[in-house]
Amino acid sequence: MEEFKQANRELWNAWTGVNARSETYDLAGFKAGHSSLHPIETAEVGDVAGKRLLHLQCHFGLDTLSWARLGAQVTGVDFSEQAIALAQSLAAELALPARFLCSDVYELPHLLDEQFDVLFTSAGVLCWLNDLPRWAQIVAHLLKPGGTFYIREFHPLAMVFENEGDITDLQVKYPYFHSPEPLRWEANGSYADPTADVHGVSYEWQHSLADVLNALLGAGLRLEFLHEFPYCSYPMFPFMEQGPDGNWHLRRYGDIVPLMFSLRAHKPG
């Protein structure tokens, strides 16, 4: 497992600079005051002013700092040294109060002896985790009684379709159900800039929607809602169309395929 994690860490270290320069992340716009949060996230998480918010797998911190601009007392965590260094630099440059910690999610209880009002994670995070029950236990451990957990994530059903090459239609290629053995990917470029001169290997795990729900329920959290959306926040497939709201759709299918989901739960207290 350590081999898989190290390969993924090296790739994310390499991606950090590429992503920071990409149009996808629009760092200049963020510095000018734009929020990087998806409208679904701000609407469904609600008012965070004065609340202690922990952001897991925060990359280089744009979402974390966006929550800080909304008044949250934020802590961002990521396993990439380069990402955390950039996040800390951005927080200092923009004079935004934020704490960033470099840690693997599974090691976090050894680093943080605290509990938070809100635990947030979003968009392309679960595939990097091999053990969802353990992840959910850590989420519950880090939440204070009455605290809220929230995730917006790409729908696991969408992950079964081929999304590389010159595809023109949906083609089932990958398993929907979890396997202890990860899928191995040759990475060329970055998801934010496919033309970037970055090459590496990544290891990713598929988790069904039932896996996510059962992990959180098994850790003692109580589900408040689960929402599914027929669009996503980036062009997952090359034949998608972008709508006026900035989301990407499978118009040819009449928006009948789930591409994202969101979930909110709380820790009883």
Say yes or no to pLDDT of 165 above 90.
Answer: no
Our separate counts of H helices and E strands in the chain read: 7, 12
Cα torsion through 26, 129, 206, 7, rounded to 10: 70
Q: What is the mean pLDDT of residues 93-106?
A: 97
Is pLDDT of 108 > 90? yes
CATH number for the domain harbouring residue 175:
3.40.50.150
Closest CA relative to residue 262, chosen from 36, 39, 25, 58? 39
Residue 147 has pLDDT above 90, yes or no: yes
**Residue 166: predicted pLDDT:** 83
**Residue 99 pLDDT:** 98
pLDDT in tens, 30-70: 999 999 999 999 999 999 999 999 999 999 999 999 999 99
pLDDT in tens, 167-179: 899 999 999 999 9
145: containing domain:
2-266
Q: What is the pTM of this model?
A: 0.96
Q: Is the pLDDT of residue 163 over 90?
A: no
Phi, psi of 40 (to 5 degrees): -60, -40
Looking at residue 214, its pLDDT comes to 98
Number of domains in the chain: 1
Choice among 85-89, 115-119, 122-126, 183-187 with the minimum mean pLDDT: 183-187
Nearest to 100 by CA among 123, 125, 78, 122: 78
| 239 token code pair | 């034949």
Task: Region of 177 please: left (phi>0), alpha (psi -120 to 50) or beta.
Answer: beta
pLDDT value, residue 174: 95
Give bridge partners of residue 151 from the DSSP assignment: 121, 263
Output the six-digit token pair for 223.
């589900």
Q: What is the structure's pLDDT at 107?
A: 96
Instruction: Fill in the amino acid letter for 119.
Output: L
Average of pLDDT values for 218-234?
A: 97
- 188 pLDDT exceeds 90? no
d(CA 169, CA 238): 9
Digit-coded pLDDT (tens) for 16-38: 999 999 999 999 999 999 999 99
Mean pLDDT of the chain: 96
* pLDDT at site 262: 98
Among the ranges given (15-19, 135-139, 185-189, 231-235), the one the predictor scored with the smallest mean pLDDT: 185-189
Confidence of residue 111 (pLDDT cuts 50, 70, 90): very high
Tell me the mean pLDDT in the region 243-248.
Answer: 93
